[in-house]
Amino acid sequence: EPEVTQTPSHQVTQMGQEVILRCVPISNHLYFYWYRQILGQKVEFLVSFYNNEISEKSEIFDDQFSVERPDGSNFTLKIRSTKLEDSAMYFCASSEDGRGGYTFGSGTRLTVV
């Protein structure tokens, strides 16, 4: 069964550093997403991406964050100048048509120290 692949599975970074989280969505999917889940909290929407541009973003997704699809397969989330409160699981997801169920990756656990 096709899956969404995320790397790395764990990332520890110092406060103020930049991190890039990587995702390979399912190949025939057209919609891509990033969500995050702080430990013990609900899954929160960050951003959706379609046709090489952001289609929706939440209030969490401020200037500190950016997304990119650098080639035909990868989808990245960059977090500049990380803060302690950025520590969370970050999930990438993709969807064929933006209407059905989403396929989520296993996540990257980001720890900011």
Q: Which residues bind another protein (CB under 8 A)?
A: 4, 31, 33, 35, 41-45, 48, 50, 55-56, 58, 89, 91, 93, 98-107, 109
The pair of three-digit structure tokens given for residue 20, joined into one six-digit string: 């890039």
Smaller CB separation from another protein, 14 or 40: 40
CA distance 110 to 100: 28
- Min dist. Cβ of residue 27 to another protein (A): 18
User: What SS3 state is found at 85?
Assistant: helix
Smaller CB separation from another protein, 33 or 65: 33
* Angle made by CA atoms 20, 23, 26, in degrees to the nearest 5: 165
- Min dist. Cβ of residue 32 to another protein (A): 10
Smaller CB separation from another protein, 15 or 54: 54
Smaller CB separation from another protein, 56 or 68: 56
CA distance 98 to 40: 27
CA distance 64 to 24: 22
- Min dist. Cβ of residue 37 to another protein (A): 9
The pair of three-digit structure tokens given for residue 21, joined into one six-digit string: 């989280």
- Min dist. Cβ of residue 101 to another protein (A): 3
